[in-house]
A and B are shown apart, each in its own frame.
Chain A
Amino acid sequence: QVQLVESGGGSVRPGGSLKLSCAASGFPFNTYFMTWIRQTPGKRLEWIANINPSASSIFYSESVKGRFTISRDNTKNSLFLQMNSLTAEDTAIYYCARDSTVPQDWGQGILVSVSS
Chain B
Amino acid sequence: SALTQPASLSGSPGESITISCTGATHDFSIHNYVSWYFQPPARAPQLVIYDVSFRPSGVSSRFSGSKSGVTASLTISGLRTEDEGTYFCSSYTDSDTLLFGGGTTLTVL
Contact = CB atoms under 8 A, between A and B. Distances in A.
Contacts of B45: 45, 95, 106
Interface in A18-68: 35, 37, 43-47, 50, 59, 61
B96 A59 contact: yes
**Chain A, interface size: which category?**
20 to 34
A100 interface: yes
B98 A50 contact: yes
A59 B56 CA distance: 26
Interface string A75-116: 000000000000000000001000011111111110000000
B103 interface: yes
Interface residues of B, number: 23
B35 A102 contact: yes
A45 B100 contact: yes
A35 B103 contact: no
Contacts of A107: 44
A75 to B, nearest CB: 26
Nearest to B100: A45
A17 B99 CA distance: 26
Contacts of A106: 44-46
B88 interface: yes
A102 B47 contact: yes
Contacts of A95: 44-45
Contacts of B95: 59
Given A95-B44, A102-B51, A35 B102 contact: no
A31 B97 CA distance: 20
A59 B98 CA distance: 10
Contacts of A37: 98
B100 A47 contact: yes
Given A43-B103, A101-B92, A59 B47 contact: no
Contacts of B1: 44
Interface of A: 35, 37, 43-47, 50, 59, 61, 95, 100-109
Interface of B: 1, 33, 35, 37, 44-47, 50-51, 56, 86, 88, 90, 92, 95-100, 102-103
